[in-house]
Structure 1
Amino acid sequence: MQFENLSDLRVLVETARGGSLTAAARALGVTPAAASAMLKRLEAQLQVRLFERSTRAMRLTPQGQTLLDYATRALELIDEGASQASAAVGALRGGIRLAVSSDLGRSVLLPWLDDFLAQHPGVQIALSASDQVLDVRRDAVDLALRYGAAELRDSQLVARPLCTTRRVACAAPAYLQRRGTPTHPRELAQHNCIALQIGGRREQRWSFERAGEQLDVPISGDRSADDGAVAREWAMAGAGIVYKSRLDVHAALQRGQLVALLPDWAGQPYTLYATLPSNRFVPARVHALVEHLVARFAAWPEAKPAAT
């Protein structure tokens, strides 16, 4: 079957992405009436209903979901081919939708992304810096950097380990001067601990190890946050002790805004992954950004190479 107009497929993709024909029309620069006509034309050509329509939203039918998966990949291939064909030989062009955790983006990645864009002036990066985990496929993300392997349970995702690191308990000098410095993890029970909210739940315990000894200690405090950067800012302001990836607090430790605690104890280990959708064509510009990040982490003393 030959499609009469590729714009009809783009309406399908943008309607699914935005949840309405109005959103699709806005993304494509056409009127809602034109977008509606394009979608009806596509359904008539296929002789199937692609969306269930209601006054509140449009939901994909099973047939619509099937076509969406293939249309997304096909349009990405076409866009990638067009950008490469019109570019200078070897140049990278086009956009990269990148999702990173809040503190990692602010504390580590921003200058590295600046360097990448300076090397590849034809590339644009749309950055989502948030601790709310995006769905790589549903939210149309090209690349996501996340700690841990929870996302890898999805067989349609692939991930490349970038580095390993550990969490570290740390606090501002002003807090330690006021409340004292803990010398053993169990002493954290007497301190104001700034908890992270992970998956909508406030963490209750922090884990440490020393010479094969594993220790989980309960924590409590007057504040928690679902944004790692907020937790770090509170700690730097002297509000309490925070337990975060050493990557996230590296700069604050170097500047003396935070002090690493419990040096005889190792914090919880983490692996940082670059996660990509395996069922989509991955453009050369995305591969190039992954390689750029791999090289930067490999050269950084705070990050240890991850097992592949």
Structure 2
Amino acid sequence: MKIENVADLQVLVHTARGGTLTAAARALGMTPAAASAALKRLETQLGSRLFERSTRAMRLTTQGQILLDYANRAFELLAEGESMVAADSGALIGTLRVAAPSDLARNTLLPWFSEFLAAHPGLQLALSVGDRPLDVTRDEVDVALRYGTLADSRLIARPLAQTRPVLCAAPAYLARCGTPATPQDLLQHNCITFDRAGRQHRLWRFAQHGQWTEVRVQGDRGVDDASLAREWAVAGVGIVLKSELDVRQELANGSLLRLLPGWDTEPYPLHALLPSGRFVPQRVRALVDFLALKFAQLLAPA
């Protein structure tokens, strides 16, 4: 075999993922000089250039892409073997790399994660919280929880909850500005918007008797963190359209009131997204099963 050090392949994988040797070195806990040496060693052993280098980034050559594909498959097989060996011991071990929306993580998931980790002390959680679009494979995430329609067919998606957005505002805002009676009334109100799929979600859709109407709302603030949109609404700043999962506590305690009760909104499902491939580690399967059960219990009719 020409490749003498399999660890050098990790440098290839992380350089392709991060775009630079510096990013690869940081991910692997080594110096950039050591990462550069590992990559040069690979190229010398194979007699092929794996990257086209520039001052800003490194781009895979055709040969580099071929080797990367096989390296990823090799590491996946190794992970599968490790997981099967660990499964024989009856315990889940390893790190769970999870990405979740900001409001869902803070309001719902944190105690569930604590419960799951307490039941499986051999696990560690690496949680990424945010509402930006995520490349599950590139960002090294085992599972991403995401709202909305799925656009990437390369991913495995498991439905966790069927939800719809709820239009709501604080009593103080409604006392000051009035209560909208129709979707068109929202044009006269301060609407709080936040990012969906990397864009401000300003086109709000409502249906009554099977007929849909769209309103392009305006307001004095928008944000890329949906939890802040909820907090602004609770503070009486304006009207917000959010998943019922994210505002259920506020609706229950009266700090937010549901608006336009006679109008429907579009489905806004929650999925667990996993990188495509035949192998999903048992620890990841166990977490997704656990979350699916938790959401089923949470949303079960009283």
Which TM-score applies when normalising by structure 1? 0.89
Show the counterpart of 2:111. Answer: 111
Output the CA distance in 1 between the equivalents of 2:288 and 2:158. Answer: 9
SS of 1:108 mapped into structure 2: helix
CA distance in 1, matches of 2:278, 2:21: 24
TM-fit CA distance, 1:102: 1.8
| Whole-angstrom CA distance in 1 between matches of 2:287 and 2:244 | 23
Choose the corresponding residue for 2:259, options 236, 242, 261: 261
- The residue that corresponds to 1:101 in the other structure is 101
> What is the match of residue 65 of structure 1?
65
Give, in whole Å, the separation in 2 of the partners of 1:141 and 1:86.
Answer: 20
Residue range with higher mean Cα deviation, 203-212 or 282-291: 203-212
Residues 170-211 of structure 1, C-alpha deviation per residue, up to 9 Å, x if partnerless?
011111111122232222222111122334543333111233
My pick for the range that moved more, 275-284 or 18-27, is 18-27
The SS at the match of 2:138 is coil
Match in the other structure for 2:202: 204
Residues 1:65 and 1:279: Cα distance change in structure 2 (over 3 Å): farther
Secondary structure, counterpart of 2:126 in structure 1: strand
What's 2:181 paired with? 183
Cα distance in 2 between the residues matched to 1:120 and 1:250: 29
> Given the superposition, is the C-alpha separation of residues 56 and 204 from structure 1 closer, same or farther in structure 2, using an over 3 Å criterion?
closer
Q: Which residue of 1 aligns with 2:140?
A: 140
Asked if structure 1 preserves the Cα contact closer than 8 Å seen for 2:80 and 2:279, the reply is no
Query: Structure 2 CA distance, aligned partners of 1:218 and 1:76?
Result: 46
Tell me the distance in 1 between the aligned counterparts of 2:164 and 2:300: 10
1:118–1:20 CA distance, 2 compared to 1 (3 A): same
1:24 CA displacement: 2.7
| Deviation of 1:301 (Å) | 2.3
Alignment of 1:155-234 (within 5 A): 156-234=154-232
Q: What RMSD over aligned residues (CA atoms) do the two structures have, in Å? A: 2.2
Contact 1:84 1:93 in 2 (8 A): no
- Partners in 1 of 2:247 and 2:199 — Cα distance? 22
In structure 2, the gaps of 5 or more residues are: none
Q: Which runs of 4+ in 1 moved over 4 A?
A: none
Q: Unpaired segments of 5 or more residues in structure 1?
A: 304-308
CA distance, structure 2, for counterparts of residue 186 and residue 26 of structure 1: 52
Residue 206 of structure 1 aligns to a residue whose secondary structure is: strand
Contact persistence 2:190–2:220 (CA under 8 A): yes
- Residues 31-42 of structure 1 mapped to structure 2, 5 A cutoff: 31-42=31-42
Query: Which amino acid counterpart does residue 170 of structure 1 have in structure 2?
Result: C
Match of 2:14 in 1: 14
Give the structure 2 partner of residue 306 of structure 1. Answer: none
Query: CA separation of 1:181/1:208 partners in 2, compared to 1, >3 Å: closer, same or farther?
Result: same
Q: Which whole-Å CA distance do the structure 2 matches of 1:241 and 1:176 have between them?
A: 9
For 2:58, give the aligned amino acid. M
- 2:129 maps to which residue? 129
Equivalences, count? 301
CA distance in 2, matches of 1:11, 1:165: 42
Alpha-carbon distance, 1:238 to partner:
0.6
Q: For the residues of structure 1 that align with 2:196 and 2:187, how far apart are their CA atoms?
A: 20
Q: 1:236 to 1:90 in 2, by over 3 A?
A: same
